[in-house]
Structures are given as structure tokens and as C-alpha cells.
A and B are shown apart, each in its own frame.
Chain A
Amino acid sequence: MSDRVDDTDMTDTAIDDPSEAPADDRDDPTEDDVGDAESGLPSHRAVPRTGRLDSEDRQGVPYTESQVIMPTVKVVAPFAFTFGLFITFHGSGSPGGGFQGGAIVAAVVFMIAFAFGIEATRDWLANTVVVALAVGGALAFAGIGLVPVALGGAFLQYDLLPIPILDPVKYGMEGVEVIGIAPIVAGVLMGLFFLLANGFGSEGGGFGGGAPDEGGSIDETGSLEEGAADAGGDR
């Protein structure tokens, strides 16, 4: 939820700026309007910023409850999720398909994470689920493609699929879309979201946090082990 809260914070700084500017550069009052290229730091950066997007305390506290967004997401999420499933399952008869439907389902998870906190969503949607979606989707797509090969046909030759009663061509394609492409897209997008939410991680195995005081390539194995320990430990 940090982003939307930070949007509202921008109004704070907009109010702050005029009050700070006279104190810092009395010598050049027009500088605020023209720009700050010639002086080192803009006037409003000279004072410590609290509550700003890039302030230290805000970086550490990425979640604030919102009485508007939480109920809104509670109402919208089931419908958006159903819409994503409809787009996925009904792709053979209407616009859409696995890619679009998977993206919408992932967007529902983003929405929930924004409303109820990324950490809470991360605990609720375990890494196992995300990985199982992506890997399972890839394996399912490959499996549907390889079964006809095993039966002597070509890759993805749907009419050889051993599907009883139902039309193998139509439901083979549905299978590719529903249990192949959609889970891959949904899983990978959710994974990217959680990865980015972790950031370059001062707390984890990323190389952002300790880069300045550690020697570049030497600690790579160390940070990897750290990540592995992190993985085994609390998740």
C-alpha cells in the first residue's frame, strides 16, 4: 500500500516546500521557479524529510492501513478474480485467453497486496504456491505437447490426445490455455511482484544493501548462502 499512501504524501511536501525554501536560499529567491541545476542540492533536500517516499522511516514502514482502499478491494477483488478466470476459461469463444487471464489474476493479487500489506500477502501466498504455478504451468504445456509425440504424432497435435468423450482438439487447446499459459503468467508476475517488493534487500541476499562496503564479486557466494539460509529459515 505504500505507493498510494505516498501519493497523498506528495501534497505534504508541496505544502512544505514554500516554507522551507526561504530559509535555505534567501540569496536567490527565484531559484525555486527556475530550477536547481547550479546549486548542489535543491533547497528542500537540505532539511531532513519525514514521511516522504524516500525518507528512511518510510522506507522501513511500507504499509499503512487505508479505510478507503481496504473495503474497496474487498468488494472488487472477487469480481476481478472471477473476470480473470472467465477470460482464461472462455478464451476459445471470446477475446482473451491464458495470457490475459493469468495477468488479471496476478493483478488481483497485486491489488490485495496493496490493500492488506505486501508482507501479509507474502505470508498468505507462500513461495511454494507461486513456484508451483509457474513450474506446473510450464510442465503442463510441455506435457500436453509431448503426449502426441509419444503416441507417434507431432508436437501439440491435439487430435491424438487421449481425451475420452470430449473433443480432444478443443479441450487440448483449452488445457494449454488454462493449465499451461495462465499459471505460468500468473505465477511469474506474482513472483516478480514479490521479488521487487523485497527490493535489492538489505535484509536478504540481494547485492544492493551491502554493496558499498563489501567487495564486489568476492561476497557473491556469501550472499547466496545468506539467501539460502533466509529461504530455509522463515519461509
Chain B
Amino acid sequence: MTGAVALATGSVASVAPLSPIVAQVTAIEASLLAFVVLTALATAFARDVLAAVIVFGAYSLGMAALYTFYRAPDVALTEAAISAGVTTVLLLLTLAKTTRIDHDAVFESVNLPAAGAAGFLFAGLLLTMGDIPAIGSPDAPVWSNPEVTQWYLTETYAQTHVENTVMAVLAAFRGFDTFGEAVVVFAGGIAALIVLHREVFA
């Protein structure tokens, strides 16, 4: 019937019953995850800002592929367009307008307190991993509760006459929130004008 519902049910049907998480990781998924982690580390440790910006763009592209792999195409589109595309361009533009200090070393030296804080946070997040349901698990609360997710999936087409549940939630069920978000984007443009003491964009 509806594309989004078919997509969502497809993701559940294709995943085998619960088994250890490692057994479910496919080669594509593992390589994407490794790529994302490596580019994230490279972004943090690259000494040259231009290199960091470019590697960050690659990281965003990897995240977009990962979102697509996890069947979140709306998020993947946003990540690819905004994060990999627009943000990289704006950062490059900023670099071109500022002085870039060039370095002989490729990687930043590790700041031990910062690394300790990051490691502490990482360990804390790892502790929560045990309670997260497996990817695509039919028992995951976000999927199995009939009051929220299933209600939206069944009622979207009946009430809003569109097939994309994500858009129905954004534009109809949570339309007022989206209006606020759009106004925030608009206000962001105005704020940039004010900060830069300008009255025209172009």
C-alpha cells in the first residue's frame, strides 16, 4: 500500500530472529562502520584544518551511506546534502577567507586530558550498549509499541493521504513544530546578517 510502510516492514522481516549482534553485522555494514570511525578519528587528529574539513566531509558521506543501509533514507538525504555538501562548502569558504596555518606534522599531538575525558565518555556510552535492542529487532520498543509507531504507520495514509510517513509526521502531525523549525532556519539567516553587520546577502 504505502511506500514507507512497506519499507519499514521490509526491514523487520529481513532480519533473522535475535542472535548475537556480531553475527548480524554484514561485510558492508562492518566496512562502513570502520570507515566512519576512522574518518572521525582522522577529523579529530588531523593537524591541518583543510585536511580535517575534507575528512569530515568523507565522514558525513559515510554516515549518509550508513543511514541508507539502516533504511533511514530521509535522514541519509539530509546528512548527504547538509552535512557532506553544504557544511563542507561553507567551511571551505571560511578557510579561504581566513589565514590557514600550515603545519609540517600530519597529525595533532594527543591532548591527554581531552583524550581522557573522551575515553571516559566513550566508556560510559559503551556501558549502555547492553540495553539497546539489536538492530531491526521486532521487540525493540520503538517498533513494537502499538500506541505510537504502529499508529502512525497505519493511520498516516488514512488521515493525511500521503505515503511518506516521515513527511506526514513533519508536515501534518507535528506541523506546528516544523513551522517553528522553519522559522529558526529563517532567523539563522537574519542572525548571520546581524553578526556580519550587513543588510544584504549578496
Q: Spell out A's residues near B (CB within 8 Å).
A: 2-3, 6-7, 10, 13, 17, 32-33, 35-36, 42, 44-45, 52-54, 59, 62, 87, 91-97, 99-100, 103-104, 106-107, 110, 114, 122, 125-127, 130-131, 134-135, 137-138, 141-142, 145, 155-156, 158, 167, 169-170, 173, 176-177, 180-181, 184-185, 187-201, 204-207, 220, 223-224, 227-228, 230-231, 235
Contacts and interface: CB of A to CB of B under 8 A. Distances in A.
Q: Is the interface of B mostly helix, strand, loop or mixed?
A: helix
Interface in B82-126: 82, 85-86, 89-90, 92-100, 102-105, 109
B18 interface: no
B164 A95 contact: yes
B138 to A, nearest CB: 23
B27 to A, nearest CB: 25
Given A3-B92, A32-B104, A106-B86, 19 more contacts: A17-B104, A52-B102, A53-B95, A92-B162, A94-B164, A100-B81, A103-B85, A145-B176, A155-B179, A156-B179, A176-B171, A181-B178, A188-B186, A195-B193, A195-B196, A206-B196, A206-B198, A223-B197, A230-B200
B164 A107 contact: no
B168 interface: yes
Contacts of B189: 134, 187-188, 191-192
A176 to B, nearest CB: 5
B161 A35 contact: no
